[in-house]
Amino acid sequence: MDGHVAGGCSKDVAALADLVRSAGSVVALTGAGISVPSGIPDFRTPGTGIWEHVDPMEVAHIDAWRDDPERFWSFYGDRFQTLGDRQPNGAHRALAALERGEMLDGVITQNVDMLHRKAGTRELVEVHGSIASCVCLTCGARCTLDETLALLRDATVPPCDCGRPLKPDVVLFGEFLPEAALQRATELASQADLLLCIGSSLEVHPVAQLPGVTLRHGGEIAIVTQGSTPYDGRARVRCSGDVEAELAALVAALL
What single DSSP character describes residue 200?
Answer: -
CA atoms within 13 A on the CB side of 98: 29
The pTM (predicted TM-score) of the whole model is: 0.91
DSSP 3-state assignment of 226?
A: coil
Angstrom distance (rounded) from CA 90 to CA 145: 24
193: pLDDT strictly greater than 60? yes
Q: What integer pLDDT is reported at residue 59 of this predicted model?
A: 78
Q: Would you list the domain boundaries of the chain?
A: 1-40+88-128+177-255, 46-85+132-170
Q: What integer pLDDT is reported at residue 45 of this predicted model?
A: 58
Best CATH choice for the domain 46-85+132-170 from the list 2.40.50.140, 3.30.1600.10, 3.40.190.120, 3.30.70.520: 3.30.1600.10
Looking at the DSSP assignment, which residues form a beta bridge with residue 167? 135
Looking at the DSSP assignment, which residues form a beta bridge with residue 108? 29, 125
Q: Helices H, strands E: what count in the chain?
A: 10, 9
CB of 86 within 8 A of CB of 242? Answer: no
Q: What integer pLDDT is reported at residue 187 of this predicted model?
A: 98
CA atoms within 13 A on the CB side of 154: 5
Q: What integer pLDDT is reported at residue 6 of this predicted model?
A: 37
Question: Whole-number mean pLDDT of the chain?
Answer: 90
Alpha helices in 86-161 (DSSP H): 90-100, 115-119, 145-152
What single DSSP character describes residue 137?
Answer: T
52: pLDDT strictly greater than 70? no
Q: 3-state SS of the chain: helix, strand, coil percent to 5?
A: 45, 15, 40
Angstrom distance (rounded) from CA 219 to CA 211: 9
Assigned superfamily of 1-40+88-128+177-255? TPP-binding domain (3.40.50.1220)
Q: What integer pLDDT is reported at residue 10 of this predicted model?
A: 73
Tens-digit pLDDT profile for residues 82-140: 888 899 999 999 999 999 999 999 999 999 999 999 999 999 999 999 999 999 999 99
Alpha helices in the chain (DSSP H): 9-22, 56-59, 62-67, 69-85, 90-100, 115-119, 145-152, 179-191, 210-216, 243-254
Active site residues per annotation: 128
Q: What integer pLDDT is reported at residue 8 of this predicted model?
A: 40
Q: Which helix (H) or strand (E) holds 108?
A: strand 106-109
Q: What integer pLDDT is reported at residue 207 of this predicted model?
A: 93
* Lateral strand order in the sheet of 129-135: 142-144, 129-135, 167-170
